[in-house]
Amino acid sequence: MRIQMNIKDPRKLFLLCLIPLAGGLLTSCRDMETIRKALEMHNIPGATYVGSETCATCHDKEMKEFKLATHERISIPMEGVKVEGCEMCHGAGSLHVEAGGGKGVKIVNPSKDPTMCYACHMEKKAEFNLPHHHPVPEGHMSCTDCHNPHGPDARPWTSTSLEDTNELCFKCHKEQRGPFAIEHLALREGCTTCHKVHGSINDKMLSQRDASLCMRCHSDAALISDHAARLRQGTCFSGECHVAVHGSNYDKHLRY
């Protein structure tokens, strides 16, 4: 069905187009205020902004990589200064420079405290508050364990390597890597096909609960007589059936 709009007055048409733009602008202003507050809260008392060029005198390698990273294209207007580059995440660097540098010396280290990451990535903060999540809020992991905010090879939508998102997961979850004689083809699409990597309401951080997860690809199984009755009893893998969900060396149905 095609919907036709008959607006003869060009002024009304202009206003109609302006409404969604205005909504986006208000959202940006609200989010920018959150970022400003985070910068003010985490700044080292007495420190002033010195610019990324000053950081480059000691951190030349990081600066060369950072010029190709997504984060490099962001700037935050503050009172009397535009914060960008290194100081956008690490805070004002003058006292760090005066102290002669040093890891964590009078400078914000987001790898120790994810609050600076949360300032922009508020939806991830919400996901980490869900019942099943990676232990970032507990301090057992940090955002930088999986993400490289300086990386030149980062994908635009996630600061993970272009090599493969799965490789990050396999650093810790080695038993899921394989290779397996019979692979579960879903792994070719990535771990995020089944898992919400920051947090989920479901056990094992699954994106959907029970058999609903499997039915996204295996809807034909619901039509098989012996499956139809069992699907109401639980998941495909918790009923001791298809337990080798990442891959198997013995059974083509991923039973072992």
**Separation between Cα atoms, residue 206 and residue 194, nearest integer Å:** 6
- How many residues make up the chain in this entry? 256
Burial 65-99 (b: 16+ CB within 10 A, else e): bbeebebbeeebebeeeebbbbbbbbbbbbbbbee
Quote the pLDDT of residue 41.
Answer: 73
Contact 179, 169 (CB under 8 A): no
* Band (121; pLDDT cuts 50, 70, 90): confident
User: Lowest mean pLDDT: which of 52-66, 154-168, 239-253?
Assistant: 154-168
Checking if the pLDDT of 199 tops 50, the result is yes
List, in sequence order, every beta strand (DSSP E) within 176-242.
182-183, 199-200
Q: Residue range 78-102: average pLDDT?
A: 87
* Band (70; pLDDT cuts 50, 70, 90): confident
pTM: 0.73
Give the domain ranges of the chain.
Answer: 31-161, 164-256
Return the residue matching tokens 């979850």: 173
